[in-house]
Amino acid sequence: MKHLSLREPLRFTLLMLLALLSFGGSGAAQINHDKPIQFLIIAQNSTVPVDSNFIAIDVELYNVSGREVRLSTAGLGSQILFVNRPCSLEDSVRTQSISLDPSPTTKRPESVRIPSGGAYRRLLQVRLDHGFFRAGIYSVRLSFAAGIEGPGQKTLGTQDLTSNEVFFEVIDTSSN
């Protein structure tokens, strides 16, 4: 049996989407026309050396509505939540919430059009704080508020977008 490698991001993305769509009762794959955008992230690597400055995150915004939408990427990457998952009962859960104002994308925000059923993809380099990260299991989740417009620049409102939670491991490579 062949194992899925996270180093194959396109294949992993397709399998993840198929898994999401197969769990229709979970709410994650149900189409909500009041919330036309689904926000998914994927870590490019499942492990990160403890001395890394960044983790590469693939961001995917999916238009699940029946119409084209337009939004600004200005807030993308401005709200980040890291959670350290303890490996023993003696350790406690540690969290690090980062709010960046302005967000790192403000230097080059885009107004993107996403057709019905289409997606916007972007790679984000999320900074890792060496004071927080040590060897262990972590998760990351991103959030931002997106102003969404429909055809003819008709304002449809604001959608608070929160990504899925992605797990990764920080490893100490000094003993290898």
According to CATH, the topology of domain 33-171 is Immunoglobulin-like (2.60.40)
Quote the pLDDT of residue 3. Answer: 45
In the structure, what pLDDT confidence band is assigned to residue 11 with cuts at 50, 70 and 90? very low
Quote the pLDDT of residue 175. Answer: 66
Residue range 109-118, pLDDT digits in tens: 678 899 999 9
| DSSP string covering 124-135 | EEEE--TTT--S
22 secondary structure, DSSP code: H
93 secondary structure, DSSP code: -
Residue range 144-170, pLDDT digits in tens: 887 776 666 666 667 788 999 999 999
Locate the domains of the chain by residue range: 33-171
Could you tell me the pTM of the whole model? 0.70
**CA gyration radius, the chain:** 17
Residue 17 has pLDDT above 60, yes or no: no
Find, among 69, 57, 64, the residue nearest to 24 by Cα.
64
| Neighbouring C-alpha atoms within 13 Å toward the C-beta of 122 | 18
Residue 19 has pLDDT above 60, yes or no: no
